[in-house]
Chains A and B, each alone.
Chain A
Amino acid sequence: MTGSYFEDVPLEHVEETPGLTITSAHVAIYLGLTRELAADGGAVPDVLPLCFTTGLGWRVPKPPLVVLAFMGLDWQVLRSVRVGDTIMSRSRVVTKRPMRDAGVVVEEREVVDQRGEVVQRGRFTYLVAKRTKETKA
């Protein structure tokens, strides 16, 4: 499988994604999917920008991380996001811990709005595949 394996992940390399303008269509689909309740017409549920950060990473032109499992996250919401705001995500890997067949990767991630303000931030922990004989670089 093509992708970035544990060995390929650079430490402390800052990656920025393209932006995404959050529309009322995104919010409507999200509310229908989750049945969360909206605070008011222009409000964006706080979990939605967090959900976008994983997908925004896929728009960075590089092979995706070969994730075996998403282990956990610590997340802080610093300010609310409104419909019409444009967010992007900035991330860097801060810890790599090798294990036998895989490795743990801890990534620090921020969600930044069009004013350059950090609206959400936290840490993601993934279990990432190591290269095998078949997938040697």
Chain B
Amino acid sequence: MGELRRYFDDIELGEEYESPGRTVTEADIVIFAGLSGDYNVLHTDAEIMKQSIFGERIAHGLLGLAIQAGLFTRATQAYATLAFVGLRWKFKGPIKIGDTIRLRAKVIGKKEIPKPDRGLVTVQRSVLNQRGEVVQEGETDLMIERRPRP
């Protein structure tokens, strides 16, 4: 599968991708609460959340972030990623149980660095719900391998 990965040299500035949708279920939220240990009432107490501005339990922000990372792998051919370097992220709106989210992504930066075998790629990402509202958005920096020179 190694040959199918796209190197720094193959990725073009301005490339855009859109992922399939994924419906976020109550089970996703329960599993994420168990895995992360984050049992904040926002995600786990249906009664208190009825009184909140959201009206019901909402997904963990980081669950949305984690799901979009998975959606990215379904939106485009895999990058030859060496490392995930960092991100700048905003949570703009709630993801509720039953919402279907998808990822829209665009390559907005390509930077050569002193190391000759790799480069930095910045991807702008928006997570949209079924109404087309942006619920999360931000930028991620990825260190990508360069095509090996013969």
Residues of chain A at the chain B interface (Cβ within 8 Å): 1, 26, 29-30, 33-37, 45-48, 50-52, 54-56, 58-59, 64, 67-77, 80, 122
Contacts and interface: CB of A to CB of B under 8 A. Distances in A.
B13 interface: no
A46 B38 CA distance: 18
Interface in B22-77: 28, 31-32, 35-42, 48, 52-53, 60-63, 65-67, 69-71, 73-74
Interface in B90-122: 90-91
A72 B60 contact: no
Interface of B: 28, 31-32, 35-42, 48, 52-53, 60-63, 65-67, 69-71, 73-74, 78, 83-91, 138
Contact of B73 (A35, A52, A73): A35
A102 to B, nearest CB: 11
Per DSSP, chain A at the interface is mixed
Nearest to A35: B70
Given A74-B88, A122-B86, 13 more contacts: A33-B67, A36-B73, A45-B69, A47-B65, A47-B69, A51-B62, A54-B37, A54-B60, A59-B37, A64-B40, A73-B87, A75-B87, A80-B83
Contacts of B87: 73-75
Given A34-B66, A69-B91, A72-B89, A51 B31 contact: no
